Amino acid sequence: MTNLTKALNSPEESERLYAIQDIIALKDSHNKTDVYAHADAYAETLVRHLESDTSQAVRNSIVYALKLMPCTKALSLLFELFQNPDAYLRNAAVTIFGTKGVDGVAFLTSQLDHADREVRKLVIDSLFQIGSKEDEFQAGAKEAILAIRAGLNDPSINVRITAVEYLGQLNDTQSVEDILGMLKSENDPMLITAALETILQIGDETNIQDTIKFLSNSASEPDRINSGSSANETGSVSNRMNRPVDILKVHPVFLPEFIQLIAKCGSVDNLIGIIEFLHSKTTYTKDIVAAVEKIKNRYNSIVFEPKINDFLVNTIKNKDIDENSRYAASELLLAEDESITNSLSSENIYLEIGQTLIKEQSMIVTALRFLAKSDTKEGKKIIDDIKAATKDMNLLAICDEFGL
């Protein structure tokens, strides 16, 4: 050990790197009794060198070694790095703790009430690293998740947000009820958003329906977030009465998550209510198109519903909407075998869309598909004229691919 310690103090970077490699190699020694007897001593030495060494290559090698080594007695020294001003050292400590399984959980749990909220957040980060390694440290993973749940009651908003997000990523369905309770009692928008995203990720249908009901029927919700919709945005009284959920009570900050909740477990009427309320707000178009696609998987032929159909057509034709949303809306209409009629006019809906999109170079392929689907002489003529005039071999190949 003396020789290795001396090598670690060498002014030569290569000597220090060789010393670290020799320490790592000890774990594969046939005589492990001596190795494990001195493991904590090696680990303490390496942690000190990690903090003082100026070579990044040496630092990286030390981190790698400490991840492989048992270092129970060195955990206190490693924990001190959580308060180091060097972000690399703080992150390295989290990474190393993340490999320490049950021993790491036991130590970190004892620090959940540390006075420094930033340290408590790093404790949660480390527990998440352990919780993510179920195959490697099954008992440690389960205990880490239990410890992260304690973070839901932390006095720091940032720690609570971190705990909520991690529990979702760790698929801890047993924490959903606690997160639902937090959702209903908290007033910080970022924390509420994190809770909504976690419920979306791991909540069951009952949890999601409960969340939909709370967001859309809680009269105090806009007041809690200190904002609300203006009278001009609320629509008519009759529209409010006809909605199965009152979208007017959903705070605008949470509309994207609310739409995703509806997409996952809501009804077609819920979706129509959203479209009616947000029809002129292109900010939410991407979310609504995604919701139509998901709800379509549960309810066949919803694109034939007039309100949904009109929304998709208007989305496709609107140049101010991002192209990905327009393409997605197009696929929803093009996928139907049965012809869709336009509730706004008697014109063939596919011909109408094709004639509109053919004027945009970026939408020309989609336009050709709509024209072909229109099954009209006008549509066929436009396709033939395009094919005759173009010198774009890629476009011609696409036409052949779709049988145009």
Query: Does residue 327 lie in a domain region?
Result: no
At 174 the pLDDT is 95
With contact defined as beta carbons under 8 Å apart, do 385 and 368 qualify?
Answer: no
Query: Does residue 32 lie in a domain region?
Result: yes
Q: Is 342 in a helix, a strand, or coil? A: coil
- Alpha-helical regions (H) of 38-175: 39-52, 56-68, 75-79, 87-97, 101-109, 117-131, 138-150, 157-169
Query: Does residue 19 lie in a domain region?
Result: yes
Query: Does residue 303 lie in a domain region?
Result: no
With contact defined as beta carbons under 8 Å apart, do 49 and 8 qualify?
Answer: yes
Distances (CA, A) of 395 to 13, 384, 400, 402: 59, 13, 9, 11
At 138 the pLDDT is 54
At 189 the pLDDT is 93
Q: Residue 246 is which amino acid? A: D
At 85 the pLDDT is 96
Name the residue range of residue 21's domain: 1-97
Distances (CA, A) of 187 to 112, 182, 211, 226: 24, 9, 15, 9
pTM of this prediction? 0.79
Which two three-digit tokens encode residue 382?
Answer: 């436009």
Query: Does residue 349 lie in a domain region?
Result: no
Per-residue pLDDT of the chain (404 residues; tens, 9 = 90+): 677 778 888 899 999 999 898 888 876 554 555 555 566 678 889 999 999 999 999 999 999 999 988 888 899 999 999 999 999 999 999 999 999 999 999 999 999 999 999 999 999 999 999 998 765 545 688 899 999 999 999 999 999 999 999 999 999 999 999 999 999 898 899 999 999 999 999 999 999 999 998 888 754 444 444 443 333 333 333 333 334 567 777 888 889 999 999 999 888 988 998 898 886 678 899 999 999 999 998 887 788 888 999 999 999 999 999 999 999 999 999 988 777 766 555 578 899 999 999 889 889 889 999 998 888 899 888 888 888 888 888 888 877 776 67
* Phi and psi torsions of 141, nearest 5°: -65, -45
Query: Does residue 37 lie in a domain region?
Result: yes
Cα 87 to Cα 104: distance, rounded to the nearest angstrom: 21
Query: Does residue 34 lie in a domain region?
Result: yes
Q: b vs e for 287-307, b when ≥16 Cβ sit within 10 Å of the residue's Cβ?
A: bbbbbbbebbeeeeebbebeb
At 67 the pLDDT is 92
Cα 38 to Cα 249: distance, rounded to the nearest angstrom: 63
Residue 63 maps to which CATH number? 1.25.10.10
**Domains of the chain: total:** 1
Query: Does residue 189 lie in a domain region?
Result: no
At 230 the pLDDT is 34
